[in-house]
């Protein structure tokens, strides 16, 4: 090193490299997730504040209300401070959890949709909540509806708890029903298909001016699953050893929905034109099968008729309803000394008062018995009471959602049937074969 | 031998300073590329031989199984076909139109800068916003096109509800966005052509079309070539338009593209290994096309300098 300048150049290069590598590693630390208690903003009086991070989805009031609940929790006590972070849609939330977990970080508590529960459980992302549920600081789940608690149950552990629970809601056009001489909403699925025909109006040249029903573009399988279950059909069992996408009942139910389309009594709209909700609100469709999600919008913005709500019809097996929405989970990255705090927060989110508050703000249901008591005023409204009447019939089983193999095969099949007019039996046979083949690639393959 | 070594050694001594300076300048970029581009490519190559969901600690090595399955996967061929249709259509149609637009803009008209800006605007418009606007435009009942359909009392096509038309709705937006970008490049190229060629041609009595064919197009070949290569590669990566306009539907994957399907596989279905095999095939494909185009372009592109 005779020449000092070369040394300087070398040093400069090193500094630059260090800066860059430092720059690379710094953001990799989980944002906020792992802040040690000692670093926490100095607690005002005695004891260390435990800091937690909560991730959630749901844009609009359903997301804001979660932020509000977190604020209320923080104000209710001094020991735990939760920061609430919005992560986008359900899919984005899951992707963010995935990347955070892969990097060894992430929030302690998170909302989670219904699609990823099994994959995350199988990969050890989710904490078993059974000890907390049954512990001294537990939750009495005896008044939880239907089999909702089963949804997150794997191998005798419970890894996911329902939080924002949606039930099926049938919206109907009161005047259209009166016009067609139909007395009230359909009680059975057979009645539903008949009513759809009676409600359809065509002009002189045969163009449909009002459809009996508009299907949900993209995720109509969610609604159809209630119909299939209610008629006694199954799409798969829980461990995927018996996938039955071409089960005779499935074929029959999908065929009935297709017949309505063929006759012009139903339409499968595209998302673009406001989809099924837009058509219903404009009076172009007399019924839609949906969830409480659009309740406020439909009640306020429907044009020229009175929108009404009803439960989905019953089938041969009675009423078996497919829940929607999401739940909350604790992640295994949570350090042991924070787990009790994380559970305390989860318990707060699931308290009757929180659920009642959330139901009022978001449109999701106050799904536990105690929450309904807490939401007494809300349920005075007959329409909310009707929506909540669906709760006892919920079946907590997201097996179709949770397997990409089953889910995508079924979606492709019914979409082919609805959009391309494919043969129902053939499409479902193909879906069955595809699902059985692709299930082998799942981490939880039987 | 020893003489040779000696020479190398002296040149090394002599150039050491230059070398270090070179390293200092190159290192930042190289490290960024290495960490964020080269390493992921190599790692992805490895992942394409395993079964993994990003989460489990152990990756199960499955050999070429991912590739073998891929060849038999209908969705692979369909998204590949869609992507090629999209890329070829966008490149040919958009650049054809952009060339014509550039010829028009190249005339000495009043307010040329204004028109140039207008034609470039689509390219800098947020894709998401543009896609949403087009979704409404194309709607047969709500969009402005509905007036046209009503006037002729015909049933307008429901682009996004049709398995054959949905991809074309995406192509239309792709073209709209690409025209502005390409036309600015073409215009810059046109303005770089020495006017003396045109004067000489006119003196010789050449007709406008002959001038276009024998002077403009040959001299523009480098620009055309550059835009075609970069445009094609860019177009094969289309993702956002699909995500916003159709989500690959109405019957998945009728309007899905390679990049969109890849994302679905990896981050919605958690199949990291299989998705990596998809990515590697894509990487090889794009590399091949690029090398092929670069190699054979020499035959017909005459770079002036």
Q: Is the pLDDT of residue A391 over 90?
A: yes
> Would A6-166+325-398 and A169-322+403-441 be classified into the same CATH topology?
yes
Q: Which segments in chain B show pLDDT lower than 70?
A: 1-14, 299-305
* DSSP-derived pairing of the beta strands A50-56 and A109-112: parallel
What is the band of A13 on the pLDDT scale with cuts at 50, 70, 90? low
Measured in whole angstroms, the distance separating CA B264 from the mean position of its chain's CA atoms is: 20
Sequence spans of domains, chain A: 6-166+325-398, 169-322+403-441
Which of A273, A274, A276 best tests the B interface by mutation, with the highest count of B CBs <10 A? A273
- The structure tokens 């929790």 sit at A73
Mean pLDDT, range A233-247, rounded to an integer: 96
pLDDT at site A259: 97
Contact (CB<8Å) B17/A102: no
Q: Is A411 helix (H, G, I), strand (E, B) or coil?
A: helix
What is the band of A24 on the pLDDT scale with cuts at 50, 70, 90? very low
User: Which member of A6, A122, A123 has the closest CB to residue B20?
Assistant: A6
pLDDT at site B155: 76
Percent of chain A with pLDDT over 70: 89
Q: Round to whole Å and give the CA distance between B91 and B77.
A: 21
Contact (CB<8Å) A268/B16: no
Q: Is the pLDDT of residue A3 over 80?
A: no
Q: How far is CA B166 from CA A270, B77, B242, B260, B289, in A?
A: 11, 17, 10, 15, 26
Contact (CB<8Å) A404/B251: no
User: Which member of B54, B161, B269 has the closest CB to residue A102?
Assistant: B54
Mean pLDDT, range A224-235, rounded to an integer: 97
| Pure H helices in B72-124 | 74-89, 95-105, 112-124
**Residues 6+ away with beta carbon under 8 Å from A91:** A113, A115, B267, B268
| Count of CB pairs separated by less than 8 Å, A with B | 106
Find the residue in B nearest to A408 (Cα). B252
User: Which member of A13, A20, A412 has the closest CB to residue B20?
Assistant: A13
Q: Round to whole Å and give the CA distance between A236 and A233.
A: 9
pLDDT at site B225: 85
**Residues 6+ away with beta carbon under 8 Å from B5:** none
Write out residues 7-36 of A within 8 Å (CB-CB) of B.
9-10, 12-13, 16-17, 20-21, 24
Q: How far is CA B136 from CA A105, A106, A220, in A?
A: 41, 39, 22
Please provide the DSSP assignment of A288-349 as one string.
Answer: EEE-STTHHHHHHH--SS-EEEEPPPBBTTB--B--EEEEEEEBTTS-HHHHHHHHHHHHHH
Least confident of A173-182, A322-331, A352-361, B201-210: B201-210
Contact (CB<8Å) B141/A273: yes
pLDDT at site A342: 97
Q: Which residues of A touch B255 (CB under 8 A)?
A: none
pLDDT at site A21: 43
Mean pLDDT, range A415-433, rounded to an integer: 96
Which of B76, B136, B156, B161 best tests the A interface by mutation, with the highest count of A CBs <10 A? B161
Q: Which residues of A touch B23 (CB under 8 A)?
A: 13
Residue A331: exposure state from Cβ atoms within 10 A (0-12, 13-18, ≥19) = buried
Q: Which residues of B touch A106 (CB under 8 A)?
A: none
Min distance A182 CA to chain B CA atoms (Å): 29
Q: Round to whole Å and give the CA distance between A160 and A277.
A: 30
Q: Are the C-beta atoms of residues A441 and B274 closer than 8 Å to each other?
A: yes
Domain spanning A169-322+403-441, CATH class: alpha beta
User: Which member of A3, A115, A218 has the closest CB to residue B247?
Assistant: A218
Least confident of A267-271, A409-413, B6-10: B6-10
Which CATH number is associated with domain A6-166+325-398? 3.40.190.10
- The structure tokens 């208690």 sit at A37
Domains and CATH numbers, chain B: 2-47 (no CATH), 72-299 (1.10.3720.10)
Q: Return the DSSP state at B216.
A: I
Find the residue in A nearest to B50 (Cα). A441
Q: Is A287 helix (H, G, I), strand (E, B) or coil?
A: strand
Asked if A438 has any chain B CB less than 8 Å from its own CB, the reply is: no
CB atoms within 10 A of CB A436: 15
Min distance B273 CA to chain A CA atoms (Å): 10
Contact (CB<8Å) A9/B17: yes
Mean pLDDT, range A18-38, rounded to an integer: 39
User: Which member of B32, B136, B274 has the closest CB to residue A20?
Assistant: B32
Mean pLDDT of chain A: 89
Mean pLDDT, range A163-190, rounded to an integer: 96
Contact (CB<8Å) A217/B250: yes
Asked if A421 has any chain B CB less than 8 Å from its own CB, the reply is: no
- pLDDT tens figures, A307-350: 999 999 999 999 999 999 999 999 999 999 999 999 999 999 99
Q: Round to whole Å and give the CA distance between B62 and B46.
A: 11
Contact (CB<8Å) A272/B27: no
Min distance B244 CA to chain A CA atoms (Å): 10
CB atoms within 10 A of CB A339: 16
Contact (CB<8Å) A404/B270: yes
pLDDT at site A444: 83
Kindly report whether the global pTM for this prediction surpasses the value 0.95: no
């Amino acid at each position: 090193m005779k020449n000092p300048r070369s040394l300087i150049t070398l040093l400069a290069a090193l500094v630059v490299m260090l800066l860059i590598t430092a720059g690379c590693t710094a953001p990799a630390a989980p944002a906020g997730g792992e802040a040690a208690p000692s670093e926490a903003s100095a607690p005002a009086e005695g004891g260390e504040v435990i800091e937690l991070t909560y991730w959630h989805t749901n844009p609009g009031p359903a997301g804001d209300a979660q932020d509000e609940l977190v604020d209320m929790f923080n104000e209710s006590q001094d020991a735990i401070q939760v920061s609430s972070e919005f992560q986008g849609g359900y899919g984005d939330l899951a992707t963010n959890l995935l990347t955070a977990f892969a990097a060894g970080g992430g929030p302690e508590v998170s909302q989670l949709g219904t699609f990823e529960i099994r994959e995350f459980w199988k990969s050890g992302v989710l904490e078993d909540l059974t000890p907390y549920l049954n512990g001294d600081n537990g939750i009495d789940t005896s008044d939880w509806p239907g089999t909702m608690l089963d949804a997150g149950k794997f191998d005798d552990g419970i890894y996911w708890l329902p939080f924002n629970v949606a039930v099926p809601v049938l919206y109907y056009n009161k005047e259209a029903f009166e016009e067609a001489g139909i007395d009230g909403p359909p009680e059975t699925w057979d009645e539903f298909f008949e009513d759809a025909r009676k409600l359809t109006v065509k002009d002189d040249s045969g163009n449909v001016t009002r459809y009996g029903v508009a299907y949900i573009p993209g995720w109509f399988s969610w609604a159809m699953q209630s119909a299939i279950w209610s008629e006694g059909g199954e799409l798969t069992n829980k461990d995927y050893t018996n996938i039955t996408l071409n089960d005779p009942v499935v074929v029959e139910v999908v065929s009935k929905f297709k017949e309505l389309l063929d006759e012009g009594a139903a339409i499968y709209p595209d998302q673009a034109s406001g989809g099924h909700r837009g058509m219903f609100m404009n009076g172009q469709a007399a019924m839609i099968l949906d969830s409480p999600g659009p309740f406020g919008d439909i009640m306020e913005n429907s044009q020229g008729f009175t929108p009404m709500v009803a439960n989905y019809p019953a089938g041969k097996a009675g009423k078996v309803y497919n829940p929607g929405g999401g739940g909350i989970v604790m992640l295994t990255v949570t350090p042991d000394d924070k787990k009790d705090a994380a559970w305390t927060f989860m318990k707060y989110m699931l308290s009757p008062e929180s659920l009642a508050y959330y139901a009022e703000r978001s449109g999701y249901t106050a799904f536990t018995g105690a929450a309904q008591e807490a939401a007494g005023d809300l349920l005075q409204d007959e329409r909310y009471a009707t929506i909540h009447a669906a709760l006892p019939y919920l079946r907590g089983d997201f097996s179709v959602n949770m397997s990409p193999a089953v889910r995508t095969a079924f979606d492709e099949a019914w979409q082919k049937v609805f959009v391309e007019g494919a043969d129902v039996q053939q499409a479902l046979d193909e879906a069955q074969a595809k699902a059985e083949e692709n299930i082998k690639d799942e981490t939880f393959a039987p | 031998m020893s003489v040779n070594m000696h020479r190398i050694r002296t040149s090394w001594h002599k150039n050491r300073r230059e070398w270090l300076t070179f390293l200092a300048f190159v290192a930042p970029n190289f490290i960024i590329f290495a960490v964020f581009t080269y390493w992921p490519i190599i790692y992805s190559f490895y992942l394409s031989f395993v079964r993994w969901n990003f989460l489990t600690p152990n990756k199960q090595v499955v050999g070429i199984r991912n590739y073998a399955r891929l060849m038999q996967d209908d969705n692979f061929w369909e998204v590949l076909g869609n992507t090629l249709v999209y890329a070829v259509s966008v490149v040919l149609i958009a650049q054809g139109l952009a060339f014509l637009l550039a010829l028009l803009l190249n005339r000495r008209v009043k307010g040329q800068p204004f028109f140039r800006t207008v034609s470039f605007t689509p390219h800098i418009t947020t894709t998401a916003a543009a896609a949403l606007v087009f979704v409404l435009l194309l709607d047969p009942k709500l969009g402005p096109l509905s007036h046209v359909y009503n006037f002729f009392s015909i049933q307008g096509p429901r682009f996004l509800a049709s398995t054959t038309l949905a991809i074309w709705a995406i192509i239309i937006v792709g073209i709209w966005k690409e025209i502005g970008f390409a036309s600015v490049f073409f215009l810059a190229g046109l303005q770089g052509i020495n006017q003396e060629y045109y004067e000489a041609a006119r003196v010789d009595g050449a007709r406008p079309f002959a001038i276009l064919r024998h002077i403009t197009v040959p001299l523009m070949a480098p620009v055309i070539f550059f835009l075609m290569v970069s445009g094609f590669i860019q177009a094969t990566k289309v993702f956002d338009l699909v995500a916003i306009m159709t989500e690959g539907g109405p019957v998945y994957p009728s309007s899905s593209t390679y990049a969109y399907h890849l994302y679905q596989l990896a981050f919605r279905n958690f199949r990291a290994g299989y998705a990596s095999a998809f990515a590697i095939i894509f990487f090889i494909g794009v590399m091949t096309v690029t090398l092929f185009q670069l190699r054979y372009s020499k035959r017909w592109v005459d770079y002036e300098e």
